[in-house]
Structure 1
Amino acid sequence: MKIAVIGGTGLIGSQVVKKLNAAGHQAVPHSKSTGVDVITGEGLDTAVAEADVVVNLTNSPTFDEASPAFFQTSMDNLLAAAHKAGAGHFVILSIVGADQVPALDYYQAKVLQEKLLADGPVPYSIVRATQFMEFMDAAMSWTADGDTVRLPATPIQPIAAKDVADAVAQVAVGAPLNGIRNIAGPEIFTLDELGRITLSHKGDHRTVVTDPSAGMFAAVRGDVLTDKDAHLAPTRYTDWLS
């Protein structure tokens, strides 16, 4: 099976390409570094030519109000190219609970991306994942100040990037879902608790202060980052840290 992986050189994309090729498929990574630009459309027709499946793992360069425009333009261009090439399956990676957080521009941009795909001309699959374990350092850096890291007590069910890549690769070679598959890590924490676990493991003596107004996840109200029907990945957070 020939699979064009757009955004195939990033954290998830590079692992998806490796897993697909190891399974005997012909997965080709595409990104700006390979001459493919999803905003201008440069290189897209060539990238998806003769592809059975298009996997789109590109991401907005910002999490703010500019993100919807990125997904609108990139999906318009990618769907047109995939349809023209006769691709039979289009896969994207989204976020569990994205449709339940209207206060976050980025989450609403991902909802827009999902709608564009569902309304588009190509059979599709949406893989929704909870937050990546690899995301914790960035989340803490946003609200770190001297010896203190401020984090809200938002429920989170972190998943390892390698488990996300496994799920995306599996969905890509299957029949189109024409719907959503939710994936999540095996454990639920609050974000402030996860921060304390992370700092303790690293021997970092900064203090985590629970602050409901701190960071991007301050906009999240209730348990929306987990899903009771999610497929649970095997990697536990402390094992991933080790």
Structure 2
Amino acid sequence: MKKKQAPRRWPGRPGQPRPSIPARAEERITQWDEDGLKRASEFWLDGACVGRAYWNPDGTPNVATGLRDGAPVGYQIEYHDHGFLYAEPFVDGLHQGWAKQYGRRGRLLLMSPFKRGTGTDYWCDEKGRLAEEHPLVAGKPSGWERWWWEDQQTVYSETHWHAGEWHGITRHWTGGKLDRGYPKFFIHQEQVSKRAYLAAARTDPTLPPYRPEDDSPERPLPERFLELRRLTRSRAIARRRNA
């Protein structure tokens, strides 16, 4: 016998985005865990699937997004600690508009713009420090994906993507030291030797050049991230003054 769940609801404070799932849509649970708790569900209206959600064991949502013709639409919401965390806007299945990240107490931490699937998904910790950056072009990972330490001066992982494929150099550090076997070199998802990579990079501008100094984990914070953080803070101050 399935255990009863808390009623469906989308957490968040007034003015924060909600997933574009019609309230009158019928929920159909598609996955239960071994304890009889729902973990995934779809929402149907007029014969079409108009939303999808994944659930925590306590019945609160983990991720929820509206769907139209199988593609994400409106805000895809990621929740955390019974609150609001991250909202990614979609139009016709591509990121379009301002992605917004909130802290556990509802404070807006960062806004990042996207246009037709192109932009950078910056991810912050609760103090607004950069933790991850995921660049997209036309909806596919393209550019340097990096994972940052709290010191905001070093990274512990980076991978170069192009058109949704590993295409470039990947590095990983532990304790500030490059892990054994790194850097690794990829061309269209296929790992190749350093020699083969250097030869290909001479004629392929989509392959970043290899520089020995980049084997150090030290990196400057992206100027675009710093600009967006300043913009977010200035808008938050303006809203408080006008409240």
Question: Structures share a fold, TM > 0.5?
Answer: no
* Larger of the two Rg values belongs to structure: 2
Higher strand share: 2
Compute the TM-score of the two structures, normalised by the length of structure 2.
0.24
Compute the TM-score of the two structures, normalised by the length of structure 1.
0.24
Higher helix share: 1
Specify which structure has the bigger relative contact order, considering alpha-carbon pairs within 8 angstroms and separated by 6 or more residues.
Answer: 1
